[in-house]
Amino acid sequence: MKTLTTTLPGVLIVELDQHVDSRGRFIETYRASNYAAHGIAATFVQDNLSTSVRGTLRGLHFQTGPHAQGKLVWVSRGEVFDVVADVRRESPTFGRWVGTTLSAENRRQLWIPPGYAHGFLATSEHADVAYKVTEEYAAKAEASVRWDDPDLAIAWPITEPPLLSPKDARAPLLREILRAA
């Protein structure tokens, strides 16, 4: 495994090794000691799996306060365009984002430390996104930012409106969250 840095502090792309033979392939998706050696010393408490059809956009989600989650995200089937946005008010990179393609084929994972918003767009016919989190889901700490926030100006690879949940369609702009705080 190797890690690649991004323009956001602490956000890392993890490239996993694979072993291929006539039976198929084997990929070790997590071993605590390997991740700690690469600067990801997290304790995961919950695993999630999301299945989406092409054009589905989920996010941008995060949890606040003591329930802020670190996430280790990967795709076991299909492909997504995955986005991380810095929503930490005191951060020098506040309001910036990075995006990368995660797919079953490229074997990449994304490590997202607590304090960042996360979302993805399914770019294949079907996409299964798995992720480990460092804090359990807490409804009272749940927060989101609208996917098309003009201040973030995320360059989603779409030409048609995405499929959104009602909650994601109603998500506030980042400036509205700041005014409410």
**What is the rounded end-to-end Cα distance, in angstroms, of the chain?**
40
Nearest to 130 by CA among 75, 79, 172: 75
Find tokens 């996917």 and name the residue.
147
Q: Which two tokens stand for residue 121?
A: 């767009």
> Is 61 considered catalytic here?
yes
Catalytic one of 67, 116, 118, 131? 131
Catalytic one of 30, 35, 61, 137? 61
CA 38 to chain centroid:
19
Q: Are 60 and 132 in contact (CB under 8 A)?
A: no
Nearest to 10 by CA among 47, 33, 41, 32: 41
Nearest to 98 by CA among 83, 111, 110, 108: 83
Nearest to 84 by CA among 67, 106, 66, 102: 102
> Is 19 considered catalytic here?
no
- List active site positions: 61, 131
